[in-house]
Amino acid sequence: MTFSRTSLPSPMFSRNDFSIWSILRKCIGMELSKITMPVIFNEPLSFLQRLTEYMEHTYLIQKVSHHPPISAFHAEGLNNDFVFHGSIYPKLKFWGKSVEAEPKGTITLELLEHNEAYTWTNPTCCVHNIIVGKLWIEQYGNVEITNHKTGDKCVLNFKPCGLFGKELHKVEGYIQDKSKKKLCALYGKWTECLYSVDPATFDAFKKNDKKNTEEKKHSKQVSASEESDEMPMPDSESVFVIPGSVLLWRIAPRPPNSAQMYNFTSFAMVLNEIDKDMESVIPKTDCRLRPDIRAMENGEIDLASEEKKRLEEKQRAARKNRSRSEEDWRTRWFHQGPNPHNGAQDWLYSGSYWDRNYSNLPDIY
């Protein structure tokens, strides 16, 4: 079944239309876990659906706890050529105007035709201006991708934006063999494109670039106090291409109405699309049936807020009832165990989802 919608039922609303103080003053002194966050901070997709965006770029390779929040996913190629799975349990830190998420958990890609398996952990993600202003995101930290068949590794550095946004969205690193010999260098922006080039060429370029940067520093001194939480504009929106580089990947252009549609890509635009035929075969716990998300997508903000509050109160009541009966929460399609490739604790697919036996599912909506 193919979907073709190119826009959401209703454009996004402006957060500037709401008084942030009128919301926050009601939360003073309350326990954080009991605060119902306003729906205006949301978008009409669940976190699980956001994880599905990994699959937007599958051409490059041809549910489990609320407290604490843990998300697990499992995807298989139509031609049985790959298996992609992982679990994420973000460790959140609140910094006043921003939220930092350290995405603990292992991501695994298995290329069945080549008998290869790759594992990695995502970089830290920081969402700025969560209270007021224009939201913007940066990712930073080191990511190590391991080929468990050959021992090769790809070590990538996602750079923090720095002053004036010079390093905004930049990522660079090397692919090296098990003896740590550099096989090639990678560079680009995770929001734009990725190139590969000979490591010697890349190192020479970096050396020259560092020299130019040092000269600029001497000509203009900047105080750290001048930093702002506003999204910095980088020196150049595009990536400077080093001679001899090979383009590995470039992001698909966003649709022209993306700015009015939560900045969704064409792929994200269809994630919540559903018709009656599909509704009859998916489990009643499917994200596309969430009433708060559906109301938000339709532009019914008051209804979305009421539904979100109702669902959270329902979850708290269910958890309270389980504690009274000493009943353990049991996941249906995932189980905890060691990752078969690196031994790390993981949530693994238990099977049976595609059997379409959705009896005895909890009533979560």
- The C-alpha atoms of residue 343 and residue 335 are separated, in whole angstroms, by 15
Q: Which of 8, 82, 1 is nearest to 297 (CA)?
A: 8
Percent of the chain with pLDDT over 70: 78
Confidence band for 131, pLDDT divided at 50, 70 and 90: confident
Question: CB atoms < 10 A from the CB of 223, how many?
Answer: 7
Where b means 16+ CB within 10 Å and e means fewer, 171-197 reads bbbbbbeeeeebeebbbbbbeebbbbb
pLDDT of 47 reads 64
Residue 205: its pLDDT value, please? 93
Calpha distance 179→129 (Å, rounded): 44
Q: Identify the pLDDT of residue 98.
A: 85
What mean pLDDT do residues 141-170 have? Answer: 92
Question: Cα 307–53–107 angle (5° rounding)?
Answer: 110
Per-residue model confidence (pLDDT) at position 226? 40
Render pLDDT for 249-285 as a digit per residue (tens, 0 to 9): 999 889 999 988 888 889 889 888 988 888 888 999 9
pLDDT of residue 17: 61
pLDDT on residue 228: 53
Specify which of 170-179, 205-214, 309-318 reaches the highest per-range mean pLDDT.
170-179
pTM of the full structure: 0.80
SS3 content of the chain, % helix, strand, coil (to 5): 30, 25, 45
Q: Find the range with the poorest average confidence among 52-61, 213-222, 248-257, 279-288.
A: 213-222
pLDDT tens digit sequence for 82-94: 999 999 888 888 8
Q: What percent of the chain has pLDDT over 90?
A: 39
Spatial separation of the C-alpha atoms in residues 298 and 185, rounded to whole Å: 46
Cα-based distances in Å from 135 to 149, 220, 229, 235 = 41, 29, 10, 20
Compute the distance between CA of residue 282 and CA of residue 354 in angstroms, rounded to an integer.
10
pLDDT of residue 221: 44
User: Would you give the DSSP letter of residue 61?
Assistant: G
